[in-house]
Amino acid sequence: MHLQNEKQPGEKTGKDEQNSYEEISEKRTSKLGYILLIIMVAFVIGVGETIFSDLAGIPERPVAPSSCVLSSVRNLESLTKYSTCQDRGVPFNDIDKKFGLDEKYNGIKPQLQEIASLNASIGSNNSEVRKLENDIQRLNRDYDLSLQEKMAGEKAIADKEDIKNEITSAKAKIGILQAEIRSLESKKGPLISQIRPSVQSIERSHQEAKDYFLGKAAWFRFKVFLLTLVFILPFFAFSVFFYFKLKRKNSPYTIIFTATTTAFSILFLQVVGVFLYDILPKEWLGRIFKFFMEAPFLRYVIYYGSVILVIGIFGGIVYYIQKKVFSPAKVAIRRLKDKKCPGCSFSLDSQHAFCPNCGLRLKEKCQHCGELRIKYLPHCPNCGTDEVGKISA
Ligand SMILES: [Zn+2]
Ligand SMILES: [Zn+2]
């Protein structure tokens, strides 16, 4: 970095800059201090999460209506003996009973069991048919082979007539099985139509139970939100209060509250974020997002927008940090502290008025006392006034 003679890197060395300069060099803590603070932050967050999940257990958590009632009656074609709720030992819960799902289900239970056993018979007949069809394929291959062998004049391994007979008998068996399947299906059809009104009634009641549950669940989440907020808010507020109080006083203990504020901010944002996500009209947002994603042009607007946004946010944070730490004034002060030129880092003698390497002007006349003072440091070493002309206490 080559600075021009009269362009001072530290011209605006006001009071604020001076304070943050102290912060960089002295308000840091030792490595052990940092490690302890990081452990503290992790611990506070961990304890906070434990308390949150404990608080979520205080309001009564609503239970959803059993989904297996619905899946049993909705998949009548594939219903088997063990796919009905009660056969799997799932008891009806309170909300099921409240909306009469248990009674309605038990009302059609004999038919459901009948359908399940018919499905089982149809299934086993079907697999029998598939097995026989595979056999026929294999027999056909054997038949072709024996035909070829005969044409080539070799002695056939398998007898042609036997294979033919086997194929005929397998085909006959398939015919019998398919007739049986048709008869089973013809028993099942009327059963399904017979219970259709009850199935529709179960579906309606289940929907009502689900709506009721969703309302209860929303209320439950709101109660959990209030409880966690009441818990975290005082900690968060006190931590922020002490942070600013100590920071104003330039206290070296500010960093402790920086750490606690970090931890409580994370917990606080979590509570608020979960709640906001909960009340967000997700369906609505999903529809907008889908609309954008379906149009190729708009989709790329989103892609480009999100890349720019991410770079903007993360780049902005890093830029702010770098600007604070590496402002020309700070760089100049840090270099002068090491007896180096603020412009080029060349080693300096305190008597030099210009850098012998890059020619940067290092000293100027104090506007207050007229003696030479170092240009980039806030106070005149002779009279003590700072740049603005105040005599420091
Ligand atoms: Zn220099
Ligand atoms: Zn002076």
Ligand at minimal distance from the CA of 361 is: 1
pTM given for the model: 0.56
Q: What is the structure's pLDDT at 367?
A: 86
Nearest-angstrom CA–CA distance, 102 and 230: 40
Helix or strand holding residue 374 (H, E): strand 372-374
The one-character DSSP state at 386 is B
Task: Among the bound ligands, name the one nearest to the CA of residue 371.
Answer: 2
Query: Could you tell me the distance, in angstroms and rounded to a whole number, from the CA of residue 389 to the centre of ligand 2?
Result: 9
DSSP-based three-state secondary structure for 269: helix
* DSSP element (H, E) containing 360: none
How far does residue 390's CA lie from ligand 1's centre (Å)? 29
Q: Looking at residues 58-86, what average pLDDT do you find?
A: 80
Of 11-25, 126-140, 336-350, give the lowest mean pLDDT range.
Answer: 11-25
Tokens of 332: 């100049």
Q: Which ligand is nearest to the CA of 391?
A: 2
Return the half-sphere exposure (C-beta side, CA atoms, 13 A cut-off) of residue 40.
Answer: 15
- State the CB neighbour count (10 A cutoff) for residue 273: 10
Q: How far is the CA of 371 from the centre of ligand 2 (A)?
A: 6
Span from the CA of 380 to the centroid of ligand 2 (angstroms): 5
Question: Which ligand sits nearest to residue 370's alpha carbon?
Answer: 2
**CA pair distance 326, 323, nearest whole angstrom:** 5
For the four alpha carbons of 127, 132, 136 and 141, in that order, the dihedral sign comes to: positive
Give the ligand with the smallest distance to the CA of 355: 1
Tell me the sheet residues that pair with 108: none
Question: In Å, what is the CA distance from 246 to each residue of 38, 230, 240, 251?
Answer: 20, 25, 10, 5
- Cα of 361 to ligand 1 centre, how many Å? 9
User: What does the pLDDT average to over 108-119?
Assistant: 88
Looking at residue 83, its pLDDT comes to 62
Query: What percent of the chain is helix, strand and coil (3-state, nearest 5)?
Result: 70, 5, 25
Structure tokens at 357: 């390497």
The mean per-residue pLDDT over the stretch 254-276 comes to: 90
Q: What is the pLDDT of residue 20?
A: 44
Closest ligand relative to 378 C-alpha: 2
Q: How confident is the model at residue 160 (pLDDT cuts 50, 70, 90)?
A: confident
Q: Which ligand neighbours the alpha carbon of 4 most closely?
A: 1
| Across 26-54, average pLDDT | 85
Residue 231: the pLDDT is: 93
Confidence band, pLDDT 50/70/90 cuts, at residue 264 = very high
Instruction: Give the pLDDT confidence score for residue 19 in this predicted structure.
Output: 44
Provide the pLDDT confidence category of residue 256 given band limits of 50, 70 and 90.
Answer: confident
Percent of the chain predicted with pLDDT > 70: 88
Give me 43's structure tokens: 């611990």
Higher-confidence residue of 172 and 2: namely: 172
Please tell me the distance between residue 373's alpha carbon and the centre of ligand 2 in angstroms: 7
Own/partner long-range contacts of 71-74 (Cβ < 8 Å, ≥24 apart): 72/105, 72/112, 73/105, 73/108, 73/112, 73/195, 73/199, 73/202, 73/203, 74/199, 74/203
Query: DSSP letter at 251?
Result: -
Q: Are 111 and 105 in contact (CB under 8 A)?
A: no
Between the CA of 340 and the centroid of ligand 1 the distance, in Å, is 8
**3-class SS at 56?**
coil
How high is the pLDDT of residue 158? 62
- For 353-363, b/e burial (b = at least 16 CB within 10 A) is eebeebebbbb
Q: Rounded mean pLDDT of 79-107?
A: 80
pLDDT band at 228 (very low <50, low <70, confident <90, very high): very high
Q: Is the pLDDT of residue 323 over 60?
A: yes
pLDDT over 50 at 196, yes or no: yes
Burial class (CB in 10 A: 0-12, 13-18, 19+), 206: buried
CA of residue 88 relative to chain centroid, distance: 34
Please report which ligand is nearest the Cα atom of 390.
2
> Looking at this protein, which amino acid is placed at residue 127?
S
Distances (CA, A) of 240 to 9, 173, 263, 362: 34, 84, 11, 42
Which pLDDT belongs to residue 82?
62
pLDDT, tens only, 9-38: 444 444 444 444 444 444 456 778 888 889
pLDDT at residue number 344 = 86
Measured from the alpha carbon of residue 386, the closest ligand is 2
Is residue 129 within 8 Å of residue 182, measured between CB atoms? no
- Say how many Å lie between the CA of residue 377 and the centre of ligand 2: 12
Taking the centre of ligand 2 as the mean of its atom positions, its distance from the CA of residue 13, in whole angstroms, is 15
pLDDT of the residue at 80: 76
pLDDT at residue 4 tops 70: no
pLDDT of 157: 62
Query: Higher-confidence residue: 146 or 177?
Result: 177
Predicted local distance difference test score (pLDDT) of residue 18? 44
Return d(Cα 160, Cα 164) in angstroms, integer.
Answer: 6
Q: pLDDT averaged over the chain?
A: 83
